[in-house]
Amino acid sequence: MFLENSRYFKVKQAEAQAEDGRIVKVVRLRRLPEVRGSATLVKQNDRLDIIAQTTYSDATRFWHIADANSELKANDLTDEPGSTVNVPEQ
C-alpha cells in the first residue's frame, strides 16, 4: 500500500469500521524515535522537500525532517523565514 521510502512503509496496519459501516485499512500510531540533527535556518520560500533535496539529495525524505520536529502540521515548519528546523543527520 505504501512505497518503500514512505514513513508508513513498515507501520503495521489494522482494519477499522468507518462511520458508514465500511471496513477500511488504517495505519497504527507510530512511535517517533529521538533523532540527532542540526538546526537549519529557514530561508524565504523554503519547503521541507527543498531542504531534504539540499541535505540528502532526495526530496522524498522530507518526512525525516518532519518527524524530527514537534510541529503537528509539517508545512508550518517553513512558514517563517529566519526560524530554525531540526534536520536529522543522514
Summarised one tens digit per residue, pLDDT across range 63-79 is 889 989 877 788 899 99
Summarised one tens digit per residue, pLDDT across range 6-20 is 878 888 889 999 999
Q: With a threshold of 0.85, does the pTM exceed it?
A: no
Nearest to 37 by CA among 56, 11, 10: 56
Using alpha carbons, list the distances in angstroms from residue 61 to 15, 18, 23, 56.
28, 31, 31, 7
Annotate 12-66 with DSSP letters as a single string: -EEEEE-TTS-EEEEEPPPPPPP--EEEEEPPTT--HHHHHHHHHS-GGGHHHHH
